[in-house]
Amino acid sequence: MRAYYFDGLPGDQRLLHDSGNPVQPEVLKSIGVLHWHIPVPADGQYDAVDAVAQERGYKNRDVITITKQGLGDLYESKLKSFYEEHMHEDEEIRYILEGSGFFDVREHPNDSWIRCQLDAGDLMVLPAGIYHRFTLDEKNIIKAMRLFKDEPKWTPHNRGEATDTNSYRLGYLKSIAVN
């Protein structure tokens, strides 16, 4: 994974938008973003991913493939909805099996976008309550394993007054507060 500050320039969301200002792993850790690089096993045995899943209490998983061909007419609208700034009330865990894409996360307290470029083998955990968004890159394909603590769910809460006071958002802010 490579992380850097988003350049904020207009243009296709699938472009790099690299400001040239890298983000160190300590910064990501300070906002609760975790990352491992676990090469995708050729034999389909995900022992290292299983170990992370067990450590973090993830009981379920599925695999999702996002492509322009696969989504057809829904492709553009789905990409736009993934790119809306939102948060979840659960951790968001993705292990990239094929392809690549970007997760943008909000740095707190300055509200800057940090772009995380993920490729095959990257496993990322976004904490519940963090504002973020997702997009494919120009290759237009990603295959990812999604891990869940309980039943699979993915409910985005778009940023606004209601999410700013959401108990999961407030819990997130408390968890990253510097004492």
φ and ψ at residue 27, rounded to 5 degrees: -65, -45
Please give the model's pTM, rounded to 2 decimal places. 0.95
**In the structure encoding, which two tokens stand for residue 179, read together?**
């004492």
- Annotated binding residues for Fe(2+), written as ranges, equal 86, 88, 92, 132
Residue 87: the pLDDT is 97
Contact 100, 165 (CB under 8 A): no
Whole-number pLDDT of residue 151: 78
Q: Which tens digits make up the pLDDT trace of 53-107?
A: 999 999 999 999 999 999 999 999 999 999 999 999 999 999 999 999 999 999 9
Q: Let me know how long the chain is.
A: 179
Annotated binding site: 86, 88, 92, 132
Q: Which residues are annotated as a binding site for Ni(2+)?
A: 86, 88, 92, 132
pLDDT tier at 178, thresholds 50, 70, 90? low
pLDDT tens for 7-55 read 999 999 999 999 999 999 999 999 999 999 999 999 999 999 999 999 9
What pLDDT score was predicted for residue 150?
Answer: 84
pLDDT in tens, 140-174: 999 999 999 887 777 899 999 999 999 999 999 99
For the chain, which domains are there? 2-170 (2.60.120.10)
Between CA 70 and CA 80 the distance in angstroms is: 16
Q: How far apart are CA 136 and CA 125, in angstroms?
A: 17
